[in-house]
Amino acid sequence: MKTSRLREVLYLLFPLLAVMLLWEFSSRTISSSFFPGPEEVFRSFFTLLTKGDMERIRLHEHIFYSLLRVLGGFTIACSTAIPLGILMGLREGVYRSSKSVLEPIRFIPPLAWIPLVFLLLSGTWRYLFVIWLGAFFPILINTMGGIKRTNPTLVEVSKSFGAKSGTTVKKVVIPSALPEILSGMRVGLG
């Protein structure tokens, strides 16, 4: 039993050790200013963790502000994509009229927008826009698809019980599309 456990630990440690040795050897072969070794990287990491960078901003502060940007961009994406997806799923005319604008933009990767965004926007807005763009289309497409795939029988039953169209959307259509909306949010956050 102990031998198999030791073997399992060695299987985990050997690749890590091999990569570290290869890294160290490569950093000594190549100029260290372009390819620093593991010791220098770990030293810089702990300096950033304890003392901070040149502006005395420590790692946890950088992480905090990065999470705020991601949360802000994701929140803006959800608050724009979900209502638009619901509207496009319910009204075919809205989908057809917005399709010519949204479809070409959808296929451009968010990373390809970075140079243009950094030229046109400044401050936090540039980060929020790129995050928004990366999350917007998965949420929009899944929301629209979930709304369109709502079981028509459920809508007819709701109407036969006298529900108005707004109530049907709120009580039947959106809850039935919720799994796909949440799936789009999960993909958008990734």
Token look-up 């007819």 returns: 156
* pLDDT score recorded for residue 99: 87
CA 45 from chain centre, in angstroms, equals: 25
**Among candidates 82, 79, 133, 131, which has minimal Cα distance to 106?**
133
* pLDDT score recorded for residue 1: 54
pLDDT exceeds 90 at position 32: no
Q: Are residues 106 and 184 part of one domain? A: yes
88: domain CATH number is 1.10.3720.10
Q: Is 11 exposed, middle or buried (0-12, 13-18, 19+ CB in 10 A)?
A: exposed
- The vertex-74 CA angle with 70 and 75, nearest 5°, equals 115
138/147 Cα distance (integer angstroms): 14
Q: Are residues 105 and 38 part of one domain? A: no
Q: Are residues 96 and 141 part of one domain? A: yes
Average pLDDT, the chain: 90
pLDDT digits (tens, 9 = 90+) for 135-189: 999 999 999 999 999 999 988 898 888 889 888 989 999 999 999 999 999 999 9
Q: Are residues 44 and 121 part of one domain? A: no
Q: Are residues 71 and 34 part of one domain? A: no
Domain ranges, residue 34: 2-50
The domain total for the chain is 2
> pTM of the entire structure?
0.80
* pLDDT score recorded for residue 28: 83
pLDDT digits (tens, 9 = 90+) for 86-111: 999 999 999 999 988 988 988 888 88
Give the C-alpha distances (Å, rounded to integers) separating 41 from 21, 46, 55: 14, 9, 19
Residue 108's φ and ψ, nearest 5 degrees, are -85, 120
* pLDDT score recorded for residue 54: 86
98/95 Cα distance (integer angstroms): 5
